[in-house]
Every structure is written in structure tokens, then in C-alpha cells.
Amino acid sequence: MIGKNELLKAKILAVDDEEDNIALLEVLLESEGYTNVHTTTDSRKLVEMYKSIRPDILLLDLNMPVVDGFDIMNSLKEFEKGSYCPILVLTANKDEESRLKALNLGAKDFLTKTIHKIRSSAPYK
């Protein structure tokens, strides 16, 4: 069984094209004690980051310009045969078609975002 200290050192990789969403994820994860969080807002960089970091979990948005989450999951399937990294989809998509497509491409779970942007002069960190 994995102890809490080991769990908090898990390599987490998150991609979302919205900087506010990434900042919020970073704050939430770090406030819970996670110490190995890697993020990007550029989905074109994700596959290389994935290869370099070898994350324990991937937090993935679906709706991104240039390379969307579905394309990323297809790319990861091509070189990740025989290894295991759970993909948790975090997206605003609420339709059943997107959910099924993501799960069929390898996502282990699918959560819809209901994050509302709050503008403030206070920084996230």
C-alpha cells in the first residue's frame, strides 16, 4: 500500500489551455501537499513533457486549440503500450459522446468542470 508521503510525491502532469484553470489546479494540488506538479497551457508540448516526466497521472482538458485532448490520448496510446498512467479528463464537455470517446481512448475517469472565473486583484498563489 502506498503511504501518504509517497502519494504526495506522485508526478502529476496537467494540461489546459486556460491559464486560470492551470493556476487553480496548481493551488488546489499544492494546498493538499502535492509536491511534484507539472503543468502546461500549450497542448503541443504535452507529449514531450509526458515522455520526459513519466507522470503517475495525467489531468487532461479536451477542448484545446491545435492539439485537443482526443489527439493527445491517441498519441499517448501509440508509444505507451505496456505501461500505465491513468488519464483523468477535466473538461467543460458534458455530452455523452465526448465522455464515451474519451473513455474509449484510454481515459480512466471523466469529470466536467464547473469552474466559474472570478476576477480579482489577488493572485492565485
Task: Sheet containing 12-15: give its strands across.
Answer: 37-40, 12-15, 57-60, 87-91, 107-112
pLDDT, tens digit, 9 for 90 and up, residues 76-110? 887 766 678 899 999 888 889 999 999 999 899 98
Is 49 part of a structural domain of the chain?
A: yes
What's this model's pTM, rounded to 2 decimal places?
0.85
Predicted confidence at residue 33, as pLDDT, reads 96
Which residues of the chain fall short of a pLDDT of 50?
116-122, 124-125
Is 22 part of a structural domain of the chain?
A: no
Is 116 part of a structural domain of the chain?
A: no
Predicted confidence at residue 59, as pLDDT, reads 96
Q: Considering its fold, how many domains does the chain have in total?
A: 1
Is 45 part of a structural domain of the chain?
A: yes
Is 28 part of a structural domain of the chain?
A: no
What domain range includes position 50?
A: 40-56+69-85
Is 50 part of a structural domain of the chain?
A: yes
Phi and psi at 37, nearest 5°, equal: -105, 125
Please name the amino acid found at residue 93.
Answer: N
Predicted confidence at residue 39, as pLDDT, reads 97
Is 33 part of a structural domain of the chain?
A: no
Q: What is the C-alpha to C-alpha distance for residues 100 and 103, in angstroms, rounded to an integer?
A: 5
Is 76 part of a structural domain of the chain?
A: yes
Q: What is the C-alpha to C-alpha distance for residues 49 and 125, in angstroms, rounded to an integer?
A: 23
